[in-house]
Amino acid sequence: MSYQAPVKDMLFCMQELAALEEVARLPGFEDAGIDTAQAVLEECAKFNEGVVAPLNWEGDKQPSSWKDGRVTTTPGFKEAFRGFVEGGWQGLQHSVDFGGQGLPKTIGSACGEMLNSANLSFALCPLLTDGCIEALLTAGSEAQQQTYIPKMISGQWTGTMNLTEPQAGSDLALVRTRAEPQPDGSFKLFGTKIFITYGEHDMAENIVHLVLARVSGAPEGVKGISLFIVPKFLVKADGSLGERNDVHCVSIEHKLGIKASPTAVLQYGDHGGAVGYLVGQENRGLEYMFIMMNAARYAVGVQGIAVAERAYQKAVAYAKDRVQSRPVDGSVRGSAPIIHHPDVRRMLMTMRSHTEGCRAMAIVAAAAYDAAHAHPDAEVRAQNEAFYEFMVPLVKGYSTEMSVEVASLGVQVHGGMGYIEETGAAQYYRDAKILTIYEGTTAIQANDLVGRKTARDGGGTAKAIAAQIARTEAELAARDSVAARAVLKRLTAARTAFEQVVDFIAGQTKASPNAVFAGSVPYLLLAGSLMAGWQLARALLVAETRAAAGDDVAFMNAKVATARFYAEHQLSKLPGLRDSIVEGADSVTALALDAF
């Protein structure tokens, strides 16, 4: 069950698709060229392959456990986390002003993928801490930033997001946890939060909970929600740890997967009130939490890519090893490794092309994020911001949906052995299924895509991206290879389908909201698949040129083959999806409610 980080493909994406050399021209990222990227990725690969990956199956066998309010993580996790902290990995993308390494997201994204491939459950702790840091950087006071951020960036403390309550999942308007103002300016919090990832654990000295709650007398709904810092241990003026706060883990969940990651039920204020500190302004909590969520959503998308990569590697290894049956073309006499069978190849190519396509999409999106934050020109920043914002629900929604399919194929490649837990393929199938749910289900991502990202600007951003895709088509049309022609055909049809759906959505969201939202997830899948396929088409253009020049021919030919497969077996589905969305909306809601 070893893992080998796909460093080469990651560097290819950065260099050839995400224009890393342009990222390295942005102020603050001057050192982040390809040499830095390569050095960081290799170091990161070493740590994750050697230290974190071997704990993955261990965590599944021996999950985090709860006793008397304390959570003990899987044996080995504490030590691995110490290594993670010592390596400075938590601070990779964070500001040097707070002790981080200040690397661009373009590079950080790939490192995140490695950590998650190595161990999804382990990686969740840093993932949440990252979101916490983002939120405090945006909305925290200077004092709060000084108190909490350096400790989180160093990895000494970890962070959590406390949104969900039993009655408030996707619908945060229903949050009931209350915060009572105290004379000293602090608050006391009372309530129950559920599904809190790493809400309690033994890997760090302190845990910084960011908690959504209502100040007494606040308006109902989402406009009455504020954000609070509630540290597990109160922090003294000198930065040392003081009293234990009144937030307690009363249980952890028994889950389908990511079992090593403790999912806590946290009880606030059962012993007089949990001390909390308001972040930013009252009643703007949801807005701040969205900053955190946006970072986390992108990161969860990367988790999808990560688990897909790991499932793919495992399936390939098995398919090369397992000998069953003769190839149908007679190319091998007698039984052969199953990778010789066309359907096994189809499954592996599906897994591979999904993973590479989504990776390319995510790294290109990351480069836009970097430009949106660091480019000196406001207009360039705005363009990149729009692009990145459009991509976030796709990276999250599409990469995770594909990861469930890929993990399922991973089990399938293993046949009966895949169903035996000790084989390890089933763990990915179980682990992946959370990814389409947490940090906003696929439907929630699709609502975002339809409402804020498409309808709001009348489809402007979407159409601008379609125009970029059309330029890639023009480049493909200038080639005369079979592969380029095949990809061009499917990409053009897919992009056209996308434009038609965008018109439908931009035109109908107000007039026929049910019809539009009936197709919201199919639209997300269509758009996500198109973006992945577009990046693979761009990869093909580069790869053909480089292969023709004799440059790393085997790798480049593989890129070409993968891009073509994706176009012919994934992009080919999109016109059918268009039909469902544009012409099939009525039948989604036609069945009478009491007929269900």
Q: Which of residues 117-176 bind its own copies (CB under 8 A)?
A: 164, 167-171, 173-174
Contact positions with its own copies (CB under 8 A) in 166-225:
167-171, 173-174, 195
Among candidates 241, 191, 193, 244, which has minimal Cα distance to 216? 191
Contact positions with its own copies (CB under 8 A) in 417-456:
417-422, 426, 429-430, 433-434, 436-438, 441-443, 446
Cα–Cα distance list, 446 to 390, 393, 396, 443 (Å) = 11, 7, 10, 5
Q: Say if CB 73 and CB 52 are below 8 A apart.
A: no
Among candidates 17, 106, 111, 109, which has minimal Cα distance to 371? 106
CA diameter of the chain: 84
In this chain, which stretch among 49-57, 184-192, 411-419, 470-478 interacts with its own copies, using CB under 8 A? 411-419
- Least distance between its own copies and beta carbon 480 (Å): 17
Give Cβ neighbours of residue 354 (< 8 Å, ≥ 6 apart): 308, 402, 405, 406, 532, 566, 570
Tokens of 315: 């399936």
Neighbours of 545 (CB within 10 A): 13
Q: What values do phi and psi take at 590, rounded to 5?
A: -75, -30
Identify which of residues 373 and 430 has a Cβ nearer to its own copies in the complex: 430
Identify which of residues 230 and 567 has a Cβ nearer to its own copies in the complex: 567
DSSP-assigned letter for residue 210: E
Identify which of residues 155 and 528 has a Cβ nearer to its own copies in the complex: 528
How far is 232 from 128, CA to CA, in rounded Å?
Answer: 15
How far is 546 from 557, CA to CA, in rounded Å?
Answer: 9
Binding mask 477-516 for its own copies (x = CB under 8 A): ---------x--------------------------xx--
Identify which of residues 241 and 437 has a Cβ nearer to its own copies in the complex: 437
- Least distance between its own copies and beta carbon 46 (Å): 23
Among candidates 4, 8, 2, 5, which has minimal Cα distance to 551? 8
Tokens of 308: 């897909």
In this chain, which stretch among 113-121, 207-215, 249-257, 358-366 interacts with its own copies, using CB under 8 A? 249-257
Q: Say if CB 246 and CB 272 are below 8 A apart.
A: yes
How far is 374 from 298, CA to CA, in rounded Å?
Answer: 18
Cα–Cα distance list, 25 to 19, 108, 375 (Å) = 10, 17, 9
Identify which of residues 378 and 595 has a Cβ nearer to its own copies in the complex: 595
How far is 14 from 21, CA to CA, in rounded Å?
Answer: 9
- Least distance between its own copies and beta carbon 446 (Å): 7
In this chain, which stretch among 135-143, 293-301, 469-477, 551-559 interacts with its own copies, using CB under 8 A? 551-559
Contact positions with its own copies (CB under 8 A) in 368-407:
404
Identify which of residues 173 and 478 has a Cβ nearer to its own copies in the complex: 173
Give Cβ neighbours of residue 183 (< 8 Å, ≥ 6 apart): none
Catalytic (active site) residue 439 = yes
Contact positions with its own copies (CB under 8 A) in 255-294:
255-257
Identify which of residues 395 and 411 has a Cβ nearer to its own copies in the complex: 411
Contact positions with its own copies (CB under 8 A) in 6-65:
none
Identify which of residues 248 and 564 has a Cβ nearer to its own copies in the complex: 564
Identify the active-site residue in 165, 356, 389, 439: 439
Identify which of residues 320 and 452 has a Cβ nearer to its own copies in the complex: 320
Q: Say if CB 117 and CB 309 are below 8 A apart.
A: yes
- From candidates 72, 192, 412, 508, binder to its own copies by CB under 8 A: 412
- Least distance between its own copies and beta carbon 321 (Å): 12
- Least distance between its own copies and beta carbon 564 (Å): 4
Neighbours of 342 (CB within 10 A): 10
CA gyration radius, the chain: 24
Q: Which residue has the tokens 């020109």?
A: 377
- Least distance between its own copies and beta carbon 513 (Å): 4
Contact positions with its own copies (CB under 8 A) in 309-368:
316, 319-320, 323-325, 328-329, 335, 339-346, 348-349, 352
- Least distance between its own copies and beta carbon 418 (Å): 7
Neighbours of 171 (CB within 10 A): 11
How many residues form the binding site for its own copies (CB under 8 A)?
A: 97
Neighbours of 87 (CB within 10 A): 16
588 binds its own copies per the rule CB under 8 A: yes
**Cα-Cα-Cα-Cα dihedral of 362, 355, 43, 298, to 10°?**
30
- Least distance between its own copies and beta carbon 389 (Å): 21
In this chain, which stretch among 15-23, 180-188, 253-261, 293-301 interacts with its own copies, using CB under 8 A? 253-261
- Least distance between its own copies and beta carbon 354 (Å): 14
- From candidates 143, 237, 378, 590, binder to its own copies by CB under 8 A: 590
Catalytic residues: 439
